[in-house]
């Protein structure tokens, strides 16, 4: 089912600026399980914004080069979390003053730069990166005891779709309860016939980034629907500001309509979230009878 979010009026980001963020926001280093000569041994840095009465956890994989480089001393006052509009939008999902406030939010930071070329990143399809995504999902599922959703924006959409396919291959797909593909890259795909979990495909109807078209967003949902997944939805948003780089700012980043986009995310995840987590095996050893 397709939805079009009208934004004739742009809600000021000031309503997010006044939000009382959780004092227990915290950084965590997740150790990698994948070992190879070409892989970094550095941990994957993550930052958690916990919700008071969480029903699920959202793990967000950023786009671009995937690396901000925050350390173990980072706090919620770090500019990447407190000033950057997109991340302010995400963290509002843990705040009941801006949304339902029922979702823990985790921001993933790659220890290495994920290089891009021609609107694609081969490193995001590699074993090291995809294993790190799975490590972070498992870590927070075990630590917080809630279902985990994976969200990727722009280049991050490669990470989440490829990670989910890898988890399916490893028979660990139950680690993930839902997917959000935001401003997805044109080359992203899923295993259409076997992807039955809720999938939200979110896109700005006027996104000018050449590698992230509305047409591809529509194709993803059409293919899922044709395969029988009726819990896949397409939401097109409009309005906001076109300011800045076409693939790093403006419409591509939902600039100026962040509060409304947060409500779209909140509504979709709430609709598909149970009130309590169901324990599922996450390793081959746990799956053995």
Q: pLDDT (tens digit, 9 = 90+) per residue, 237-283?
A: 999 999 999 999 999 999 999 999 999 999 999 999 964 333 333 33
Confidence of residue 236 (pLDDT cuts 50, 70, 90): very high
Q: Is the pLDDT of residue 81 over 60?
A: yes
Q: Which residues form the domain of 44?
A: 2-287
pLDDT at 64: 87
Percentage of residues in the chain having pLDDT higher than 70: 87
The full DSSP string for the chain is -EEEE--SSPPPTHHHHT----TT-EEEEEPP----TTS--SPEEEEEE--TT-SEEEEEE--TTS-----TT--TTSHHHHT-HHHHHHHGGG-TTTS---EEEEEEE-SS----BTTB-GGGGSHHHHHHHHHHHHHHHHHH-S-EEEEEETTHHHHHHHHHHHHHHTT-GGGEEEEEEES--TT----TTT--S-EEEEEETT---TTS-HHHHHHHHHHHHHTT-TTEEEEEE--S---S-TTTSGGGGTTT-HHHHHHHHHHHHHHT--SS------SHHHH--
Q: pLDDT (tens digit, 9 = 90+) per residue, 13-53?
A: 333 333 444 448 999 999 999 988 878 899 999 999 999 99
CATH code of 252's domain: 3.40.50.1820
- Greater confidence (66 vs 27) lies with 27
Mean pLDDT confidence for 72-79:
88
pLDDT at 11: 32
The total number of structural domains in the chain stands at 1
pLDDT at 17: 39
pLDDT at 21: 40
Confidence of residue 71 (pLDDT cuts 50, 70, 90): confident
């Amino acid at each position: 089912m397709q939805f079009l979010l009208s934004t004739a009026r742009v809600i000021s980001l000031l309503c997010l600026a006044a939000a009382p963020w959780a004092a227990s926001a915290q950084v965590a280093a997740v150790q990698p399980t994948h070992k190879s000569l070409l892989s970094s041994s550095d941990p994957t840095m993550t930052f958690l914004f916990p919700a008071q009465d969480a029903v699920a956890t959202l793990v967000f994989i950023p786009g671009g080069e995937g690396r901000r480089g925050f350390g173990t001393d980072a706090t919620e006052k770090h500019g990447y979390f407190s000033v950057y509009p997109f991340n302010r939008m995400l963290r509002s999902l843990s705040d009941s003053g801006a949304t339902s406030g029922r979702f823990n939010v985790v921001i993933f930071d790659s220890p290495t730069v994920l290089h891009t070329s021609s609107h694609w990143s081969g490193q995001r399809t590699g074993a090291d990166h995809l294993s790190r995504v799975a490590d972070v999902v498992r870590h927070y599922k075990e630590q917080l005891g809630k279902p985990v959703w994976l969200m990727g924006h722009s280049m991050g959409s490669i990470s989440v779709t490829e990670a989910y396919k890898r988890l399916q291959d490893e028979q660990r797909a139950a680690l993930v309860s839902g997917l959000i593909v935001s401003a997805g890259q044109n080359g992203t795909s899923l295993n259409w016939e076997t992807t039955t979990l809720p999938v939200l495909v979110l896109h700005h109807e006027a996104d000018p980034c050449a590698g992230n078209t509305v047409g591809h967003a529509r194709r993803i949902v059409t293919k899922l629907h044709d395969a029988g997944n009726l819990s896949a939805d397409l939401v097109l948003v409009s309005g906001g500001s076109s300011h800045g780089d076409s693939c790093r700012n403006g419409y591509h980043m939902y600039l100026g309509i962040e509060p409304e986009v947060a409500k779209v995310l909140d509504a979709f995840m709430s609709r598909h979230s149970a009130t309590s987590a169901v324990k599922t095996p996450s390793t081959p050893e746990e799956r053995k009878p």
